[in-house]
Structure 1
Amino acid sequence: MPAHEKRDTRLILPVLLLGVVSYALIQSLIAPVLPVIQQDLGTTQSTVTWVLTANLLSASIFTPILGRLGDRAGKDKVLLVALIALAAGALISAVAPNIFVMLVGRALSGVGGGVLPLAFGIVRDELPRERVAPAVGLIAALLAIGAGLGIVLAGPIVDLLGYRALFWLPAIAVVIAAVTTYFRIPASQSRAPGRFSWTASALLALWLVSLLVALTEAASWGWGSLRVLGLLAAAVVLLVTWVVLETRSASPLIDMRMMRAPAVWTTNLVALLFGIGMYGLMGFLPAFMQTSPSLGYGFGASVTRAGLLMLPLSVTMFVSGLAAPRLTHRYGAKGVLVGGTVFAVGSFALLTLAHGQQWQILVSMALLGIGFGAAFATMSNVIVAAVPAHQTGAANGMNANIRSIGGAMGAAVMASIVGAHVLPSGLPTERGYSIGFAVLGLACVGAALAALLVPRNHQHVAALPLRDEESYAEAAVVGVPGLAR
């Protein structure tokens, strides 16, 4: 778009929302139908789980990298690249004749994880200041809702069109988002200085791959196996090397000074612990509900019915996400975050102690949606308020990444607990699920304690000029009261 043209912002948010929700659906629709994919492609149960893991690994690597590239090269251009990769990966998965091609497509789709930090950055660059907080909250809420909505929609789509439609339908939406991005998203005028570090990017990829492979495979390899311990040790060494390199770099991929800001590190800790609870639950609750009641628990639900029992999660998550900006304005981000964690803890307490009736699942999911929706929307606004504009993409990308890492940890812990409590037939026992739900609840208790550390309101920061980068950076580093609003 030529610089002299008036910048039309009317379609920016709808285009970004379409890209974000499409990415979330591509990521989550597959979880309930892994057995169907396993049978169709003639693979093993351990191999088919990589349909989820490959996507998670790829997203963990590319989300912060694309966020930083967008800050440097132009968010509009990099967003288009992310959407094209997301669509291409979905299309490859849709026609995959074997598990190898399926995994290639899923890994390519993970590149689309960059949509989230780029969307946050574009919102902050292009929308009027008074619209930034509500828009960020809506984007964050839709990302979380998409994760829950995928489980709800998977059953009906498979029943009507087959499981490959789970790739075709979101791919169509992504193509539409890519076309409208090309024509309607203005060229970025805010650029970050400095060189892009490929060494830092490689180290980031290596420690994330080592960590997530170890966490994902620990249930089958054994937590004490040499492979798991070796990968965890490698992850620690690579992480320390990466942090040292980033700390000394004049143009870091992730600004470690920014990551040490009180509002940033506390919010990232909440994201990590909430990720453990959310993704650990979504990976195992459908299987719990699909278990035959003859085993003493479960409802014998179909994929469709199990999804409907989780529908309150998506509905209340959406509503609370929309309400989060107003609640934050009134009570402050700290109050909203703490309140959200309280709802989540209550949900897991109910799920742990009472899960024999379907209404108990419905109530638990409604409470969890309220907590997750409000917290996720608020965390994004904390990050936006706490960092300078040119670091918005990288900071939110890392926050999303930390949530994904937490999700991998939650899934791994649940797999180990459930797998350690099995019947002679090899099927999980009710006790295994109950202990697992309790552990996820404890993660949410930890999130509540972390939320208490988030700085209160940020009136002083709000009074700073939006583009006053040095003032924002200094405020974030010293922990000016009010960063968290």
Structure 2
Amino acid sequence: MPRSAVIDRPNAGADTKSLPTGLIIVVLALCGTLVSLQQTLVLPLLPDFPEILDTTSDNASWLVTITLLTGAVGTPIVSRLADMFGKRLMLLLCLVSVIIGSVLGALSDSLFLVIVARGLTGIGTCLVPVGISIMRDHLPAERVGSGVALMSATLGIGGAVGMPLAGVIYQNFDWQMLFVVSGGFAVLMLGLVWAVVPESTVRTLGRFDYPGALLLSIALTSFLLAVSKAGSWGWTDRKTITLILLALLVLTAWIPLELRLGQPLVDIRTSMRRTVLLTNVASILIGFAMFTNFLTSAQQVQMPVETGYGFGLSVIDTGLVMLPAGILMVAMAPVAAWLIRVYGPRAVIIGGAVVIAVGFVLRAFLHNSVLEVMIASGISSLGTALAFAAMPTLIMRAVPITETASANGLNTLLRAIGTSTASAVVAAVFAAMAVDGMPNVPRFAAYQLVFWLGAGAALLGAFIAAFIARPRPVAQSSRAAGEVQRSERHDVKQPEAENEVVVGGLITDDHDRPIKQAVVTVLHPDGRHVDWGRTDNSGRYVLALPEVGRYLVVVSADGWGPMSGLENLGDSDLDQIRMNRRLRLTGHVTDSGEPLPAVMISLIRHSGEYVATGHADDTGGYELHLPPPGRYVLTVVDHPTGRTRSRAVQVGSTSATLDIDIVTGIPPHRSRPVEETAVR
């Protein structure tokens, strides 16, 4: 059984502790800057790479596509490994991957090796969700919001700096110096992470989900490859359609697999919780709007003056005029954190998405000067900073502490799907609405259409976020004066002490067999939510408590009666909890009102899947383990006479009794036939 551990949470009020806390935030935020630099550093050179590497433009585009693929595939895998084996460890391994890729790119001049190098550097994308989870583990509660907001904002400033930096390097040095710069930055970050960032003691138990990782990798690679290459292949091309269908087929196999496992790569059940699900859906749409704004801003100011809407800026000038928007995102980090504390992350996501939409609407009308374009684009960037700061906060408050990295990894992945979709949509619109005789120059009507698409996506994201559950007030007696205070909704965890106590336990049946997918919830005695967790295949779980003390522990599992109790937690592990009240489906089988012994009882799902088989006793009584809630068909078979009878039943979450007569199909006390019965 895992031993309890204490996570030191620095006290922001103490001068001796403030410096390490600030250093952790700065180092992790710089990791976010490194990620965004990797994504934008080669973009300005894409037109020149076909000549540099002696290849075609389509092949050269793989230098961007491969980074997208490895980042998307690696994010859920690395995030899960971070929860299992240590977040700091995975940060270091991701940085090592970036360094190896940078060295390979700096020493190579062949297309294949440079693509491999870019793929290795793409693993750096995983730094963001893992870094945000580290902030949750090690920062004081009042500093988590500002730290997360800053790390989210650095993605914007890194993207703005990457373009002019690449232009300056390319003009004054060899193109391979790009990899030298990114590798040097990664080496610096490796040393800083090693020296400053502590390792988390919160670990997920169980085995790594290799089949789930393989299937998800195939699905993501197929989908993102189809989306990213559809611009050159065509949306109706056989390769594009085949890859999309393959992704859908693999996902249909992957989702049931994840639901069956006790410790899946992606916890589908947790992801379907209202807060997590709606936040992730909104993330796709807001990610689409964010990247649409970035792409159109950079391209519009570089369009020739002859188009009537372009300004003919160079790559360096473009980066410089976009830099203020990136700086604004960083400056908004403390403001976003304050807004989240005052109004809650749900309201900040909605407000941020609306601000993005306002920026797009202004862009449709303000385009007479570079300043107008940058002001309208900057407004959308400001909204992006607000929305991106609130997303991880909502995710972390709605999942167990042992799943923060993997949950943030899924959110980051879905944002990446939104950005890649935006790239494909913008490319398709620009190609379809190009100036006659100039296929690479879209008409301004194409920009306006994309602006309205971006505004629509942002507003739809705000609409979806509006359905995220509001915090519910919970009354709490004050020790001093009996006043009523308010706390967050039951699925929102609020750290309240400088030290978190991590405890583990084991859930079994009365024969000491582990129960997987049992849910363990810890509440304060007054009802405020603390943490929750789900058992793995071996029945083990981990919970985080704000301090040693007395708590209400509630345990539930499909097919078992729930258990609860007030326990003193934190000074040792929880004892093994044995669930001893098995929920059952029982009843009697009769023949024209007389008991019918020894007949076979079969239970299947309404959709046809087998559930259980049993036999009645000498009095006609039967007993089956209660299946999960849903619609079922109970069938009685009397083999000596060949008679059968079936009844449709709706199973709930409590033990149930269902009698059946093999002649009438209903128990003798019924006055009329019943086609479907809800057992109670």
Q: How does the TM-score come out when normalised to structure 2?
A: 0.66
184 and 475 in structure 1: CA distance in 2 versus 1, 3 angstrom threshold: closer
Which of the numbers 115, 130, 151 marks the counterpart of 1:103? 115
Cα 1:237–1:4 change in 2 (3 A) is closer
Q: Among 425, 437, 443, which residue is 1:424 paired with? A: 437
Q: 1:37 to 1:282 in 2, by over 3 A?
A: farther
Stretch moving more, 46-55 or 274-283: 274-283
| Aligned counterpart for 1:445 among listed residues 433, 456, 459 | 459
Q: Is 1:214 aligned with 2:226?
A: yes
Cα separation, 1, equivalents of 2:196 and 2:369 = 49
Q: Does the 8 Å CA contact 1:140/1:380 hold for their aligned counterparts?
A: no
* Structure 1 Cα separation of the partners of residues 170 and 394 of structure 2: 38
Give the letter aligned to residue 388 of structure 1: P
Between stretches 325-334 and 449-458, larger displacement belongs to 449-458
- How many Å apart are 1:421 and its aligned residue? 1.6
Deviation of residue 93 (structure 1)?
2.2
Change (3 A) 1:95 1:193: same
2:322 and 2:195 map into 1 onto residues whose CA distance is 37
Question: What is the identity, as a one-letter code, of the residue corresponding to 1:470?
Answer: T
Residue in 1 that maps onto 2:193: 181
| 1:260-339 map, 5 Å | 260-339=272-351
* % identity of equivalent residues: 31
- Aligned pairs for 1:406-417 within 5 A: 406-417=418-429
Structure 2 Cα separation of the partners of residues 463 and 214 of structure 1 = 41
| Pairwise CA distance, 1:214 | 0.8
CA distance in 1, matches of 2:400, 2:7: 26
Q: Is the 8 A contact 1:286 1:306 kept in 2?
A: yes
| Residue in structure 1 matched with residue 620 of structure 2 by the alignment | none
Higher percent of residues as helix: 1
Matched, 1:433 2:484: no
Q: Does the Cα contact within 8 Å between 2:30 and 2:154 map onto a contact in 1? A: no
Q: Write out per-residue CA displacement over residues 408-451 of structure 1, whole angstroms, 9 at most, x where no aligned residue.
A: 11101111110112222323232223222322222112212122
1:40 Cα shift?
A: 1.8
* Partner of residue 136, structure 1: 148
Provide structure 2 residue ranges, at least 5 long, that are not aligned to the other structure: 11-16, 473-487, 504-519, 523-529, 535-680
Aligned residue identity for 1:171: G
Give distance in 1, aligned partners of 2:120 and 2:427: 26
Contact conserved, 1:280 with 1:414, CA < 8 A, in 2?
A: yes
Work out which of the residue numbers 356, 368, 381 in structure 1 matches 2:380. Answer: 368
1:219-258 Cα shifts (integer Å, max 9, x gaps):
2222122221111111111112111111111011111111
Aligned positions of 1:126-165 closer than 5 A? 126-165=138-177
* 2:410 partner letter: M
Q: Does 1:470 align with 2:521?
A: yes
Between Structure 1 and Structure 2, the one with more strand by share is: 2
Q: What is the DSSP-based 3-state SS (H/G/I as helix, E as strand, rest coil) of the residue aligned with 2:440?
A: coil
Aligned residues: 474
Tell me what 1:190 maps to: 202
Asked if structure 2 preserves the Cα contact closer than 8 Å seen for 1:31 and 1:283, the reply is no
Query: Would you say the 8 A contact 2:72–2:220 is kept in 1?
Result: yes
User: SS in structure 2 opposite 1:453?
Assistant: coil
SS of the residue corresponding to residue 35 of structure 1 reads coil
- Would the alpha carbon gap of residues 283 and 39 (structure 1) be closer, same or farther in structure 2, given more than 3 Å must change? farther
Deviates more, 1:260-269 or 1:5-14: 5-14
CA distance in 2, matches of 1:296, 1:20: 37
Is contact 1:383–1:395 with CA below 8 Å preserved after alignment?
Answer: yes
Counterparts of 1:4 and 1:359, CA distance in 2? 52
56, 61, 66: which is aligned to 2:68?
A: 56
- 1:267 CA drift (Å): 1.1
Rounded to whole Å, the distance in 2 between the matches of 1:377 and 1:231 is: 33
Instruction: Give the distance between the partners of 1:442 and 1:354, measured in 2 at CA.
Output: 18
Contact 1:141 1:322 in 2 (8 A): no
Give the corresponding residue for 1:402. Answer: 414
CA 1:292–1:463: 2 relative to 1, 3 Å: closer
SS of aligned partner of 1:427: strand
Distance 2:166 2:80 in 1: 33
Structure 2 counterpart of 1:79: 91
The one-letter code of the counterpart of 1:87 is: I
State the 1:191 CA deviation.
0.8
Partner of 1:349: 361
CA contact (8 A) 2:431 2:442 kept: no
SS in 2 for 1:426: strand
Classify the secondary structure of the residue corresponding to 1:310. helix
Higher relative contact order (CA closer than 8 Å, sequence separation 6+)? 1
Unaligned regions of 5+ residues in structure 1, if any?
A: 477-485
Distance 2:454 2:433 in 1: 17
Rate the CA distance shift 1:235–1:391 in 2: closer, same or farther, 3 A: same
The question of whether the paired residues in 2 share the 8 Å contact of 1:258 and 1:473 is answered with no
Give the aligned partner of residue 45 of structure 2.
Answer: 33
Equivalent of residue 15 in structure 1, options 2, 10, 27:
27
Instruction: Pick the structure with greater CA Rg.
Output: 2
Displacement of 1:162: 4.7
CA contact (8 A) 1:134 1:325 kept: yes
The offset of 1:311, in angstroms, is 2.2
2:437 counterpart letter in structure 1: P
Residue of structure 2 in register with 1:479 after alignment:
none
Aligned-partner residue type, residue 149 of structure 1? V
How far apart in 1 are the matches of 2:373 and 2:495? 46
How far does residue 463 in structure 1 lie from its aligned partner after superposition?
5.2
- Equivalent residue, structure 2, for 1:120: 132
